[in-house]
Amino acid sequence: MGRTETKRCRNIRRVLIALFIVAGYMLSTTFAVDYLEVQGEEQLVEMTALNLAFGAMGGSVPMRSNIVIGLLFILLPFLGFFFMFFDKKTNVKNFVGLGCGIIGMMSIMLFIGANIGIGALVSVLCYLLITMLSGIAVLMHAQDNPKEITTKLKKHVD
């Protein structure tokens, strides 16, 4: 399949693993901040992605539409972490990192918007770094294994 990874690719993969862990941890911190009317008074409500996903399932809070969004916020860092941790030879992990980073940033900015909390802000920064480092890793993998890429291209052309 693929060759063993070089030292610089291994270092980038380790940094990406750490960034996915940080992004996953940020799920338990203040993710979104909003003022809601509770019993006739305006109160500051702090949410996490776990509250969005699992709090909407069994509560009287009208957030049932947020289940999908909350699960998206939960699954993206774990999906990226497992690909980065277990895929040591192929370039698939870098494309998954690119996808998770872009989808993570877009989903936080689109669904949370101006009510962003500190956890969401740090997650956006982590996803930004993940996207940039994954793009660099894709190019590094192509530079380190040029024969592998040309043989795959020749197979597809023929």
Secondary structure element (H or E) that encloses residue 69, with its range: helix 67-86
In CATH, which of 1.20.140, 3.40.1710, 1.20.120, 1.10.3470 is domain 7-145?
A: 1.20.140
* Token pair belonging to 120: 């969401």
Instruction: State the distance between the two ends of the chain, measured CA to CA, in whole angstroms.
Output: 19
Angle at 133 between CA 79 and CA 84, to 5 degrees: 30
pLDDT at 1: 47
Q: Where are the domains of the chain?
A: 7-145
Interior/surface letters 84-117, b for 16+ CB within 10 angstroms, e for the rest: beebeeebebbebbbbbbebbbebbeebbeeebb
- Per-residue DSSP letters for 86-153? H--SSSHHHHHHHHHHHHHHHHHHHHTGGGB-HHHHHHHHHHHHHHHHHHHHHHHHHHH-HHHHHHHH
Mean pLDDT of 94-116: 83
Segment 117-152, tens digit of pLDDT:
777 788 888 889 999 999 998 888 878 776 666 666
Segment 4-29, tens digit of pLDDT:
677 888 888 899 999 988 888 887 77
pLDDT at 4: 67
Least confident of 49-53, 85-89, 133-137: 49-53
**pTM of the predicted model, to two decimals?**
0.75
